[in-house]
Amino acid sequence: MKQVNTVLDQFGTTIFTTMSALALEHNAINLGQGFPDQDGPDFIKDAACDAIRQQPNQYPPMAGTTHLRQAVGDHNKRFYGLDSDWQTGVLVTSGATEAIAGALLGLINPGDEVVVIEPVFDCYIPMILRAGGIVRTVRLIPPHWTLSRQALEEAFSERTKLILLNSPQNPAARVYNADELALIAEMVLRYDTYAVCDEVYEHIVFDELEHIPLMSLPGMAERCVRIGSAGKTFSMTGWKVGYINAPPKLHDALCKAHQFLTFTTPPMLQHAVAEGLRLDDDYFRQLSLTQQKKRDILTTGLRRAGFDVLNSQGTYFLCADIRPTGFDGDDVAFCQHITRHAGVTALPLSAFYDLREAASDKKPPPPSHFIRFCFCKKDAVLEEAYEKLIDYFKP
């Protein structure tokens, strides 16, 4: 029989699914997959319930409800000083995942090159390839995750169509600073490319660091697609409501992709998310502070268990070096081992590198002794998890 899909066949089941299944089998605390175990504000849930009862439940407008598009525009102005016309510059999607897929389908022509920074969020590479693009990676290596001019210059060329940038970055937990962003902007301008900016963790940033959208840099407003997610900003990852800001030309291209993908997004959720985006600054500050406290709880506990823990600047995640635990094996074996024997699940960082490249000898193998833990869980769950690891490694 014919091969079903020559692009997607090269990717197996995602590491999230594999490790979550193993966690379930061994009744382990799952700090692998990234979702909070407490929902966001009741006020937003109530707004969705009210909207179901009191507002139409039919197809909303293709680009999103007026209410939410205006709220997205106001949010961008309030936090970043970005001027986005809600009619020609804001689009609502069914999750950031759809926004990323739509941006890639809408902006890539077959054969275009796309730059991504490794370690890379799992859907990027399959989606670039499915859209007909060619992947060029810039590799960051822990513990310093340095983004060098040289690596960017090696990845960008006249063939580059866009860079797909994620800041704050999952899984490296890096928040790109003004200098790094200026370097990226320089490449974007030099090679006349676009940038698709996945900023779903824009409001989960620690230690007084500032999240700077690439779009806010000089010359970038005409070239960037900025993507946010209500799932992360309101701790409702199941809702799958995303939003895009883009200049009119890119907005048009994205609307074309979106109308053939999902066409629209449930109206009651759009209504509730619009209410959420109008919350005062304190809500957004508390979101970062709450997650920062959780980061600190897990960091302290993992250090007691013997891990070298890297500083997490933002997101739901932190990375840890497994070598000080004395384990004899790589990150994949380690994650399986602690799931089975310590009752805690994490994810191997090597899974976030382009393994096709590693297999083809084009680049050295990715780092194999770092793992990613998710900390957006109840404090008691984090405490139980690190106590289990301490019991196992430091009995």
Contacting positions for ligand PMP (CB under 6 A): 34, 95-97, 121, 166, 170, 198, 200, 229, 231, 237, 240, 242
Smallest Cα–Cα separation from 94: which of 275, 271, 262?
Answer: 262
Which helix (H) or strand (E) covers residue 309, if one does? strand 308-309
Identity (one letter) of the amino acid at 210? E
Minimum gap (Å) between residue 228 Cβ and ligand PMP: 8
And the tokens for 324? 């000080």
Q: Cα(219)–Cα(189) distance, rounded to whole angstroms?
A: 8
Smaller CB separation from ligand PMP, 291 or 325: 291
Query: What count of Cα atoms within 13 Å lies in the side-chain half-sphere of residue 191?
Result: 24
Smaller CB separation from ligand PMP, 257 or 342: 257
Q: Decide: 33 and 171 in contact? Cβ < 8 Å.
A: no
Minimum gap (Å) between residue 382 Cβ and ligand PMP: 19
Smaller CB separation from ligand PMP, 294 or 388: 294
Smaller CB separation from ligand PMP, 335 or 342: 335
Smaller CB separation from ligand PMP, 275 or 301: 275
Smaller CB separation from ligand PMP, 16 or 393: 16
For the chain, what is the largest distance between any 2 Cα atoms, rounded to a whole number of angstroms? 61
Q: What residues contact residue 288 under an 8 Å CB cut-off, 6+ apart? A: 203, 204, 205, 206, 314
Q: Cα(259)–Cα(82) distance, rounded to whole angstroms?
A: 26
Q: Cα(113)–Cα(94) distance, rounded to whole angstroms?
A: 26
Query: What count of Cα atoms within 13 Å lies in the side-chain half-sphere of residue 198?
Result: 27
Minimum gap (Å) between residue 246 Cβ and ligand PMP: 17
Smaller CB separation from ligand PMP, 160 or 169: 169
Q: Decide: 30 and 345 in contact? Cβ < 8 Å.
A: yes
For β-strands 29-30 and 90-93, DSSP reports them as: unpaired
Minimum gap (Å) between residue 328 Cβ and ligand PMP: 31
Q: What angle do CA 160, 89, 274 make, to 5 degrees?
A: 125
Q: Decide: 176 and 127 in contact? Cβ < 8 Å.
A: no
Indicate the DSSP class of residue 60: P
Q: Report residue 117: phi and psi, to 5°.
A: -105, 120
Q: What angle do CA 79, 85, 89 make, to 5 degrees?
A: 95
Report which residue's Cβ sits closest to ligand PMP.
95
Smaller CB separation from ligand PMP, 65 or 169: 169
Residue 92: alpha-carbon gap to chain centroid: 17
Minimum gap (Å) between residue 229 Cβ and ligand PMP: 3
Helices vs strands, H then E, count in the chain:
15, 13
Q: Decide: 379 and 297 in contact? Cβ < 8 Å.
A: yes
Minimum gap (Å) between residue 335 Cβ and ligand PMP: 18
Minimum gap (Å) between residue 99 Cβ and ligand PMP: 8
Smaller CB separation from ligand PMP, 81 or 238: 238
Minimum gap (Å) between residue 180 Cβ and ligand PMP: 17
Minimum gap (Å) between residue 170 Cβ and ligand PMP: 4
Minimum gap (Å) between residue 54 Cβ and ligand PMP: 26
Smaller CB separation from ligand PMP, 82 or 196: 196
